[in-house]
């Protein structure tokens, strides 16, 4: 029973951190950049020109939010999301290679999220070389792809479980 409460506590924390980012930090960064979305909100990646345009448009207030509160939230969020996804995957998939593979996907996605954060920090600190921008963009794409795969796997598992319950009634 304690494990269940711990899981739902982490779920609530992840949801809370995500809500703060979606309601406050990411919109503030976007507004400060003249409507251009932050790197975190570009799941398909970005070109060197796109990254430089964003950084040029980003005002001091937005930069302060990105390097301050957003960075702090983004330290906690990948781990919280990874914990939630892995817990959900363990709930909807039996032990075996599919579960192991999906847990691996979630963990690697979390790792790419942290890698993205480190590379975005370099961009915000002024390193706007083509290599760093390309590396940051690749990390963003990998984070987005792997996290989406893990989320879709959870959704598919929940649908499958719901179908089995409905079919057996």
Which distant-in-sequence residues (6+ apart) come within 8 Å of 21 by Cβ? Answer: 70, 73, 74, 77
- Tokens 């993205």, residue located: 116
| Per-residue pLDDT tens listing for the chain (169 residues) | 688 899 999 999 999 999 999 999 999 999 999 999 999 999 999 999 999 999 999 999 999 999 999 999 999 999 999 999 999 999 999 999 999 999 999 999 999 999 999 999 999 999 999 999 999 999 999 999 999 999 999 999 999 988 888 888 7
Three-state SS for 93? coil
Domain residue limits, the chain: 2-162
Which distant-in-sequence residues (6+ apart) come within 8 Å of 110 by Cβ? Answer: 78, 79, 81, 82, 147
Helix H or strand E encompassing 20: helix 2-20
């Amino acid at each position: 029973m304690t494990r269940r409460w711990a899981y739902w506590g982490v779920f609530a924390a992840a949801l809370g951190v995500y809500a703060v980012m979606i309601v406050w930090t990411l919109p503030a960064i976007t507004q400060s950049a003249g409507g251009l979305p932050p790197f975190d909100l570009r799941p398909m990646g970005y070109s060197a020109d796109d990254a430089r345009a964003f950084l040029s448009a980003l005002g001091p207030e937005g930069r302060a939010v990105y390097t301050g509160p957003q960075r702090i939230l983004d330290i906690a969020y990948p781990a919280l999301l990874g914990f939630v996804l892995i817990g959900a995957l363990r709930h909807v998939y039996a032990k075996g290679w599919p579960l192991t593979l999906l847990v691996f996907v979630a963990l690697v996605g979390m790792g790419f999220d942290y890698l993205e954060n480190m590379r975005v920090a370099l961009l915000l600190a002024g390193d706007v070389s083509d290599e760093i921008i390309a590396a940051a963009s690749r990390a963003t794409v990998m984070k987005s792809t792997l996290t989406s795969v893990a989320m879709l796997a959870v959704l598919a598992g929940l649908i499958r479980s719901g179908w089995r319950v409905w079919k057996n009634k």
